[in-house]
Every structure is written in structure tokens, then in C-alpha cells.
Structure 1
Amino acid sequence: MSSTARTPTGPSAPPGSGAAAVVFDLDGTLVDSEPLYFEAGRRTLAGHGVTGFDWEDHTRFIGIGTRQTLTTLRAEYGIEAPVEQLLAEKNRHYLELARGGTEVFPRMRAFVERLHAAGLPMAVASGSSRTAIDAVLTATGLAALLPVFVSAEEVAHGKPEPDVFLEAARRLGVEPRRCVVVEDAPPGAEAARRAGMRCIAVPYVAGTVADPAFASAGLLFPGGQGEFDPDAAYAWVTGGS
């Protein structure tokens, strides 16, 4: 295991066994799309007369589904347009930006490729729209490795509720307790805990490392993507330790 990784106490796998499947969050975990979502949100809000929305404002919503985010922002800023309109506008802005180029975290790509080579089933469970997930996976070449994905718009509740992870497990045909989740944000780590799944946490925002939700992660990389070790993560996933 990497000397930088920590192993808090989280949901356990059956003794002596490794995971049967791995479920990835998308934004901030597999791809560095948060700057794109920030800009898409800024443009959407600006179109409704809201100015001064900055990166710090955006970080409050990392790990929260787009619908939940816009519902909150609509109330905070007194925007008259319905949430469905805001969703469509933000999605349009995001797709324009994402198709222009989305960066995959190199060590995460290596991790996905190794899991794929080993034949371990994988899925993506995200708060983004299905259209956005499909566009990003296709543009980055990850679609061939991660053909199964679930959006929060397909389930009753987004993170921190466990719905997207439970649906991903159902589609993979794997019991939740045999799944490992890879997440970057506290709401996602909490959703994994509620789903009864083990979790690898790779915090996107440094200031969230001490968030209580990450205490339930089975493997934590406090330094985020810069410290993520695909070899250590693979050994932890397959060893069930």
C-alpha cells in the first residue's frame, strides 16, 4: 500500500474475498470536469442576472447532483425560471465545453484499464445527466471500458442517498456488499456507506479530507489524485483487505 494512503474503518467485504465489481463516480474522480461544470453553471446563472458566482461557491456543490444543485441555487438567488429550464441550459453549456476536451486523470485511467484487463465488472454512477455521462465517456475513450452507467436522473434520490450505487450494482448483477465505490466527494462517500459498499476515497477538494463522511472509506488517499496509487488500489480491491 502507498505510504500516503490511509485505511479508515468502512463496510467490510466477505472475509478472505476481494470485490466482485467496482463503481466509479465520474466528475472529479475519473475526469477533471469540475472546472467545466463550474463554467457551465456560471454561464447559466449569468443568463438569469446572477453575477459573482465563483469557484468557492461551486465547491459547495461538488458531489451533489445537478438537479439538487440548481434547485438550491434557484432558491438562493430567487431565479424565476423553472428548474427544468435551468437544467437544460446548464447541460447545453456543459456539453459544449466537454466536447471541446475533458481530461481523464492518468492514474485513474491506468486503474480502470487494469481492472478491465482482470475482467472485473465496472460501472459509473454519477449525478450528471445521462447525455453528459455518455458524451464524456465517449470523448475520453472510456466508454469501451465502462459501458454501464447510471445517472441520478434515473433514480429517486441523488447522493448522499445510495440510489445510484444500488442501481449500478443491480445492473452489474452484483450484491452491493461485494462492490467497491471510488469517490472524490463526501456526499458520494456517504452514499457508498449507505449502500453497504466499501469505498476508495480520493478527495478532489483538499479542504474536505477531514469531512466525517470520508471516515467510512476503507482506503483514503488524503492528497487526492496526486497521491492516488493504482497499484495499491488494485491490491486493496482484489485482496479484500
Structure 2
Amino acid sequence: MTPAHTAAVLFDLDGTLVDTEPLYFEATRMLLARHGVAGFTWEEHAVFIGVGTRETLEVLSARFGLDAPVDALLAEENALYLDLLRTSTEVFPEMRALVKSLGAAGIPMAVASGSSRAAIDAALAHGGLAGLFAASASAEEVAAGKPEPDVFLEAARRLGAAPRECVVVEDSAPGVAAAHAAGMRCVAVPSVPAAPGARQDAAFEAAELLFPGGQTEFTAAAAYAWLMG
């Protein structure tokens, strides 16, 4: 699939624009500890990167036999996460540079995230990105989260852009799969790069532009040149 041009760019939020995966891990760890589950590890969290918060909690609730309804767990985790977000929101510098370059070129941009609406708005505000995106879409506003394409299709709809002319910037394998399911190209910047000598996840290898080393390898200049070329 090779669109004639890039009409719009859709950014994932957590782990792509902002370095919030450690905050989500901490919020999940705190939540589980409150409900009697100790010792939740980063390795256990990492398998859910790119998966919607509700879908993650549904799995964890079943795994650990939590008594609270998933809706209650979701509200509790969102509150914990927002408290962390208010004091520790870091935007990846090269991603900020890419957003500014695309904005200067007049390319419409949107955020499409598995986070809640409140979390999206807070991350953009505390990260100094508010007002730079013409639209945003949360997984809680669509029928299904990533790897389903719903949130990307909704973000494109809100921008008034045809999916085949949109490019997604993503850090997770489920996100790359969702972008392709939506009929969009994808720039992949893995938040958890493959170990030395190991192969990337097949979804990452299918991305139209891949930065195998993740944020340490990603540059705004290289991504911008590819997007505009």
C-alpha cells in the first residue's frame, strides 16, 4: 500500500509521544497491591504494552481472582495514574520535534490511544502538547481497543482524513497491527526493543518504517523525511 501522500499522522500516546509506560506499570502495581496481589513485575506488565487499559484489567482480574468489578478497577487505576501523571510527564524530545515539524508543514495530527479521555487530556496538558493536535480518540470511546483498528479509524474520521492516506506512529506490536487493520501505514518505534540478536515481533517487521532501537534510534528528521517523501 503506497498512498500518494501523507494526509494526516496519528500518534499513539503512551510510550510513543510520552514516556508514561513506567507510570502505568506503577499504577497497576499499586492497584494490585491494594487488592492483595503483591510482586507484580515490569516483565508481567510489558506483555500488555499497547493493549487497552480495560482489556488489561480484564485479564489481570481473571488471573488473580479479583473481587471488584472491572469498571471499579478501571476507575481506581485511572485515579492512581492521573496522580502520577501530574508530577511526572516526560515527552520524548525527538517526538516533540516531529510534532512541531509536521505542524509547521500543515499536516493534521491526532492522538489515538488506549488510555482514558481524562488521561489523554492530562498527558497532553502536562507535557506541553495541548493544542498541537486537531483531534484525539480514546479506546473508551470506541467498541474495541487495539489490536482492533477502531480507535485509529475514529481518529481519522475526526480529522476528516481517508484511512489509506493516514500514517500511524506506534510503539507496540498491537498498535502496529491495529494500524494495518485500519488500512494505514505505520512508523514503529518499539518501546521494548528486541534483545541483541533476537528478531523483532512480526508486527514490527511489517511496519513500513521501523526504528528497531526504539526511542534511542528514532530521529524526527528521519521520520519527517520519510513521511513527507
Q: Residue 163 of structure 2 contacts residue 182 of structure 2 at CA under 8 Å; is this kept in 1?
A: yes
Structure 2 counterpart of 1:91, one-letter code: N
- Residue 158 of structure 1 aligns with which residue? 145
Deviates more, 1:104-113 or 1:209-218: 209-218
The 3-state SS of whatever aligns with 1:110 is: helix
- Residue 43 of structure 2 aligns with which residue? 56
**What is the alpha-carbon distance in structure 1 between the residues aligned to residue 45 and residue 145 of structure 2?**
18
| Residues 56 and 39 of structure 1, relative CA distance in 2, 3 Å threshold | same
- Residue 33 of structure 2 aligns with which residue? 46
TM, length-normalised to structure 1: 0.92
1:222 to 2:209 alignment: no
Deviation, 1:141, is 1.0
- Residue 52 of structure 2 aligns with which residue? 65
Deviates more, 1:25-34 or 1:208-217: 208-217
Q: How many residues align?
A: 226
- Residue 163 of structure 2 aligns with which residue? 176
Deviation, 1:231, is 1.1
Compute the RMSD of aligned alpha carbons.
1.0
Deviation, 1:147, is 4.1
- Residue 135 of structure 1 aligns with which residue? 122
**What is the alpha-carbon distance in structure 2 between the residues aligned to residue 134 and residue 176 of structure 1?**
24
- Residue 8 of structure 1 aligns with which residue? none
Identical pairs, percent: 65
Structure 2 unaligned segments of length 5 or more: list them: none
- Residue 109 of structure 1 aligns with which residue? 96
**What is the alpha-carbon distance in structure 2 between the residues aligned to residue 204 and residue 215 of structure 1?**
14
Structure 2 counterpart of 1:185, one-letter code: S
Structure number with the bigger relative contact order (C-alpha 8 A, sep ≥ 6) is 1
**What is the alpha-carbon distance in structure 2 between the residues aligned to residue 90 and residue 229 of structure 1?**
33
Output one character per residue of 1:99-120: Cα deviation in whole Å (capped at 9) or x when no partner: 0121100000000000011110
Structure 1 unaligned segments of length 5 or more: list them: 1-10
